[in-house]
Structures are given as C-alpha cells and as structure tokens.
Structure 1
C-alpha cells in the first residue's frame, strides 16, 4: 500500500503574486508525496524555461495550499485538511523570507521590560527604573557606546512599558509607565540630547503595565494591575501651580524630579472598569475603540465614546499581551498556556479562536504584528526564545531567533527592518529582518 501511495500523482496548478516568477497557468502532475524541496525544483524548472532567469538566481519558495503554508509532504497536508486528491489543487508560491540575522546586543544594568523602535530611534525601559535612548542607525557598529544616546533616571520603581508618540519631529515625544503607578510623558531634543518630563499621569492604584497611543496621537490608554484602563489627553501639559508646590515640597533628587516645577499632573479623561484581574496589554483598534488583554481570561473590546464594553472574548487562561494589525484587522494574544491565539473581532463568533500557534514551551508575555506584512508577527517567551511566525503556518514558526539566556519579556517589530527583544538577561537584541 505504501509503495502504491508513492506512485500516485496529483494535479496541481501553480500561481504567484510575484509576476517576475510567474509560470504558465496550466495544470501539472506532481508526486503525491512531494515535499517543499521537490516543489521548489519543479517551479525552478518552469521559471528557467520561460524566462532568462538563471537557476542560481531563482529564490527558494514557500507554498500555500488551502490557506496554510506547506510544512509536510503534500499528501499528508491534503489529508489533514480533508482535501480530495482527485481535485486540481491550487498552490500559491511566494519567495521565502530569509532568517533574521543578529545585528546587535545592547547591555543594560537590569532586566529589560519594554522596547519600542522607530526608523531612527530605539527606546528601552528597564527594571532599574531607567529609560534608555539609542540611535538605530548606529546599531551593529564596532562601538556600541556610539549608539547609546541617553540614560534617563525616570521612575521610582521598575519601568513596565514604553512607547513613542512622535519620533520624527525635532522635539520627540514618548511615554513610560511603571510599577510606581504613574505614566510619564517626555519630550526629547535629540540635537541637544536633553530630555524633559512634562506630564505625570496619576490615578492608577497599582503598577501600570501597558500603554498605547491612538492613531491621531492625541490620546493614550494605560492598563494596570488595579484592573482598570484609563484614557489620557496628550495635550494636557500645562503647568499646574499646585503640582509645582507638591513637587517642590517633595524635594526629589532625580533628574526628572529636579524639573518638578514643569511637570503637570494629569487626570484621566475616562476610567473603564470591567476586568477582574491585571490588564496585561492594550491596543487601539480604531479611533474610538480599544482592545485589552487580561489575566482574567478575557479580551475585551471597549467603546471609548460611551466608556463601556462592546464585546468580549473569553479564553481558558490568562492573556498576557495583545497586538492589533491594521493590515488584516485581527488580534493576536500571548497566553499563559504557551499558545498564541488569533482573533477576528469582526467575527459573529467572537468567542471562537480563529487560529492557535504552538511552539513556545513556556508563557508568552509579548507578541507583535509586523507593521508592513499582514501575515507575519513575532513573539517572545519565557523559554528564552523569540519566534518569527506566518499566520498561515500555525504548527511551526518560520524561525527561532536565539541568543537570549533568560526569559524574553518584550518584543517589538514597529520598524520593519528590525525585530527587537528585551530580556531578563539584561540585554536588548536587534535582529535584521526582511519582509
């Protein structure tokens, strides 16, 4: 029976969206047990016959069969999906992404809990209460010290989240949050390399775990161990005389506190209650819509106009992190059962997971969609690994990015050129990525 199975052929029709590698759209016969390597050889032959491209210049391809990337031999893939061998099987092929390559390792004095990278600047947050600013263009240089721009003694407790608001103008703006229950808005003059804390968000009663800025860059939302979400106005920066008096009386000595007479104490525009445990991640999914992930086993979609819950997704374990893709309109979450889950909040079956990704062997505290590719994302795990995924390949990641020696606490792919990760090993790793 096994010998007969190997002699079976299947009719397939290859197609691609990359016109330079297109082949004639005719049905061809391939072995039923064809592997990815065998299909690559077949495609390479057709491409070389129909064009002037030399064999050595033909890239390696991945293949999509019935919406999933082929990770096993063709017949087993079809059997798993319940597809009849008698049909003509349409197979899309696309150039395989090269593996991300290590670019730099940036040392810190304590655990790195949060990172956010723009085209020019990298912002990192640390468990020694500090923030760090790095020059992205100098990553990979022989002297790492040239990439480091500034250390900011920012908080009274470990930093938990950081995000850029504006990293392109002359005066750049970013936000940090901390176990000290506060959110700070900062401005940085990169030419003078001087930083100023201009606003302090007060109102949470426990650690502020996560932060996200809306698409208009006028509001930001924070999530906390106190189970609440709070929305703040970014233009709420005018000095407050009472706050000035408070800061002067406190006699704080850190750099930001020495500028206390300029720090305005913000109050939240809106507080949203509904979660029963820690809010681990927040994202804006629309101008007036937020998604939050919580340890209470739920993802909640909030309407900021009414200040209430629109819908919720109920899971069977804690949700640690969440990422939204404006390209495909879906959410991914990192979970306590070591899985990553994909949800489409537009689905009428809101409690049903659209896809589940298995490979991490411990908790997944951080996930992030690619900013430029609707199918790819990265994850960081307590198993010391960073993984690059394609949403069409749920059973295995595209690549494992090794290098960290301890738990990975945070990942970022906001700038398509670099995958950035931070770890308990006190390093930030930068991997060069292609999409």
Structure 2
C-alpha cells in the first residue's frame, strides 16, 4: 500500500504536502498528501473541509514558511525557487475575513481614545480633545456625555462596569487628573449628562494610559512624568489629598466655562518609578498582580504589583508607544516610534531584544488591540492614518539584523473613510467590529463580513 494519499489523479504536476494546524479543534491525523500544484486557497480549503468532514464548509487560509499563500502552489514554488519533488509543510488556519467599512459617526473635536462595552447592549466610549467623553450607540446616537470637568484634552478612557441599570468609567488626560464617572443608562432619547464622583491626583504631567483589572477593582495609570500609579475604585482604601494648584492654562480655561462639580480627591495606593523617560502605556497582564509598561526610554518593564517592584527590564532599539498582550501565546506586541511592531516573549532572556518585527506602517504605532476571535490576530492604529491587522503566525525568516531573523507584514490595511487624519485609538469587539478614532473627529467601524479573495484590502479603494 502506498504511504501517501492521492487526492486527485496525477494528470498534472503533483507535490507531497504535510498539513498541520495549531487549532486542536480542527486537527486531522498527520498524513502525507499528494495534490496537484495548481491548487489555490479555495481548492486547499475544500480538501481540508473534506478531511475534517465538516457539516458546513469552513473557510481556511494556508501558511507556507510563515507567509499566507495568495497564489497557486506552483506559482509559490517558482517564486521561492523550490522543487515540487520536496515535501511542503503547509499550515491551515481559519480565514480572517476582510474588514469592510460599516459606518462612521462624527464628533465635535479630535477623538483621542475608544473603549467598547458589549454588555448589555454594545456602546462606544470615547474621549475627546475638547476635554469631554461621550457614550455612543451603534446607530450613532449620543447616549451620554460628561459635564465639563477636565480642563484640557482627554487622553485615555476605560470602562469600569456597564449594565442595564448602572455604568461607570474612567477618564484622564493632559490636566494630570483621573475622574471616575457613574451614570444610569436611560431609554430616554435625550442625552444624559454624566457627573464625576471621584478625582484621582498624583501625576505631575500628562496621563497617557489607564488599565483596569475587574478581578481586583484596581487600576493603573501611566504618565509623561515617568511614573506609574496604582489606584483602587474603592475610595475608602485611598488617602485623601488636596486639589493641585491650577496652571495658567487651566485658570484661563475655567474662566470661560462653568464651575466643575465637586468631587472627592484621592491619592494612589502606590507610585512606581522604574522608567527614565515618559511612560507611554501600562497594561495589566493575564495575572492581575502583574503588569507591563513601555516608555520612550525604549524599555519594556514587567512589574510585581504586590511589591510595587520591577521584575524584569527588556531594552529595545526605539522609543515605544503602545503595547498589547497575546496571553495564550505568552507574547507581547509593542508599537514603536520607528513605525514597526515588535513581538516579545517575556519568559525569554532580556538579552533577546525581540522574536519578530512586523513592518508596514509609515508613522508611529500608537494603539494596539487583540482580535476577539483569534489568539493569533491583533490590530494596530498609527499616525499614518491607517489601521492594520496582523497574524503572528505570518512571520518568516529574514536576512535583516532586526527581529532576531523573523519578520512579517499585515493581512489587511484599513484607511480612514474621510480620506485623511491620524489614527489615535483602536478597539475590537465581536459584537461591534473594529472601531478606530482619530484626527478626523470620527468613530469609524469596520467589520469582517462575507467571504472574498484573501488579498490585502485597502479601504480607500
């Protein structure tokens, strides 16, 4: 009996392939297969569905040497200078659908940040350069808006809780303060004003990011003053502090606006000072007692939040602007001012700068977010005005000296529907889609809908 399985009569040139996947729910018994070299993605996808005996066809993509197969196998072999006589290792993955444009909603000023809440009904929280935050429905209706409180631009926002009866969130920005807001969602068509209950004070410069841990009810803030602060949403656990002295800009701004509401003023549980330059972002790890921070000092630091001490420091080649975790893969993705994204394994020696580098953006990468459906996929937002989608499985050997010999490129490119403007923030929800905000004052929603030829999508065309 032959040791290989012929899936088509050998009327054309044939090649032996070894199919594999990293998804245990879609694995097939390892076996060598002989297939025609003229097969493309659709033919290979049909083959895998046949071997899996799926009740409903699943669209698949295929990786060869870390690159998505966009041609026939024969064309790939020709371009790579390979022979059909040598077996080819082929990895199959669920197809990532091209993100089509769904719609956008315009606000009054540049939008700095975005955070999606999917429960009980999807809503979008945004922070603006005009110092206010608002909550928007998927139909573009403004459900709630904060009263004047921040005296300068909001830089970051994050949900704390969201239910049909109660919701709360945090905002922070250039005025060095963090505010906790609570409101009751209403069925009324009128926009609900939202009033803050607590103001958190510690930082001496712009607050650049917030990270909330539901399991501990604690949150972290990072700042351009080189520090990271640890806080609790339970104000009884925090020290009471006085209001910081207003700056000249703040006093001028307040003369032209209504008096801000009174709030409780609280200080932090702890202040961490591990960086030598502005801290771009801080982010809880999968373990709520640990966190990661990145900085313009080019470092990634792992923190023990119990002891408030750094555990490890990893130095890179460029200032870092954004970070996200890929927890099931034990990887960090970090966006840099040098326009690329680097992948890091915190478990490896700090002497290993990074495991791979992903290139494609033409300006600094300021926002990163995981896919809600694939542990291998994430999105990035950049000042080049685009959002890109990446798959960490799509990396291959490189002759360059960066990325420890591994490099990769994006799956899809999404441009602004408005045609211009920097992207400042991205978030991704299974219920809503991929949401990006920026300089064009718009909340833009893109979503993978329907199946198409898996070519790099350009939303400007």
Measured against the shorter chain, the TM-score band is: 0.7 to 0.9
User: In the TM superposition, what is the alpha-carbon distance from 1:25 to its structure 2 partner?
Assistant: 5.9
Contact 1:417–1:434, Cα closer than 8 Å, also in 2: no
What does the per-residue CA deviation read over 1:140-174, in whole Å, with 9 as the maximum and x for residues that have no partner? x4xx3x35443543410000000001112622111
Map 1:8-407 → 2, pairs under 5 A: 9-15=14-20, 26-30=31-35, 38-44=40-46, 47=49, 58=57, 60-65=59-64, 69-70=68-69, 88-119=87-118, 120-135=122-137, 139=138, 141=139, 144=140, 146-168=141-163, 170-191=165-186, 193-236=192-235, 258-260=260-262, 263-285=263-285, 286-349=287-350, 351-394=352-395, 395-402=408-415, 403-404=417-418, 405-407=420-422
The number of aligned residues is 411
Matched with 1:3 is none
User: In the TM superposition, what is the alpha-carbon distance from 1:194 to its structure 2 partner?
Assistant: 4.5
What does the per-residue CA deviation read over 1:368-414, in whole Å, with 9 as the maximum and x for residues that have no partner? 11234201111011111111111112432221112251111111125
Is 300-309 or 62-71 further displaced after alignment? 62-71
Q: Distance in 2 between matches of 1:221 and 1:399?
A: 32
Q: Which consecutive residues of structure 2, in runs of 5 or more, have no partner in the other structure?
A: 1-11, 396-407, 451-461
- CA change 1:346–1:25 in 2 (3 A) is closer
What does the per-residue CA deviation read over 1:249-306, in whole Å, with 9 as the maximum and x for residues that have no partner? x99689995430xx11110110000211111111001221110111111111111122
Q: Distance in 1 between matches of 2:182 and 2:212?
A: 15
Q: Distance in 2 between matches of 1:213 and 1:171?
A: 17
What does the per-residue CA deviation read over 1:73-103, in whole Å, with 9 as the maximum and x for residues that have no partner? 6589789999997664442323322212222
Q: Distance in 1 between matches of 2:46 and 2:274?
A: 56
Is 10-19 or 161-170 further displaced after alignment? 10-19
- CA change 1:206–1:47 in 2 (3 A) is closer
Matched with 2:5 is none
Q: TM-score w.r.t. structure 2 length? A: 0.78
Contact 2:232–2:238, Cα closer than 8 Å, also in 1: no
- CA change 1:183–1:242 in 2 (3 A) is closer
What does the per-residue CA deviation read over 1:22-56, in whole Å, with 9 as the maximum and x for residues that have no partner? 88864233466x6xx62432442675699698xxx
What does the per-residue CA deviation read over 1:85-130, in whole Å, with 9 as the maximum and x for residues that have no partner? 7664442323322212222211112111100001122110011111
What does the per-residue CA deviation read over 1:190-222, in whole Å, with 9 as the maximum and x for residues that have no partner? 127352211111110001111101241511110
Q: Distance in 1 between matches of 2:284 and 2:47?
A: 47
Contact 2:40–2:73, Cα closer than 8 Å, also in 1: no
- CA change 1:369–1:206 in 2 (3 A) is same
Contact 1:160–1:177, Cα closer than 8 Å, also in 2: yes
Q: Distance in 2 between matches of 1:304 and 1:328?
A: 22
- CA change 1:289–1:42 in 2 (3 A) is closer
Q: Distance in 1 between matches of 2:385 and 2:54?
A: 45
- Which has more helix, going by share of residues? 1
Q: Distance in 2 between matches of 1:95 and 1:87?
A: 26
What does the per-residue CA deviation read over 1:228-261, in whole Å, with 9 as the maximum and x for residues that have no partner? 00001110169999869x99xx99689995430x
- CA change 1:228–1:9 in 2 (3 A) is same
Q: Distance in 1 between matches of 2:181 and 2:310?
A: 31
Q: TM-score w.r.t. structure 1 length? A: 0.82
Q: What's the secondary structure of 1:332's corresponding residue?
A: strand
Is 227-236 or 166-175 further displaced after alignment? 166-175
Matched with 2:399 is none
Contact 1:417–1:433, Cα closer than 8 Å, also in 2: no
Q: Distance in 1 between matches of 2:31 and 2:70?
A: 24
Q: Distance in 1 between matches of 2:21 and 2:239?
A: 60
Q: Distance in 1 between matches of 2:261 and 2:361?
A: 44
- CA change 1:51–1:324 in 2 (3 A) is closer
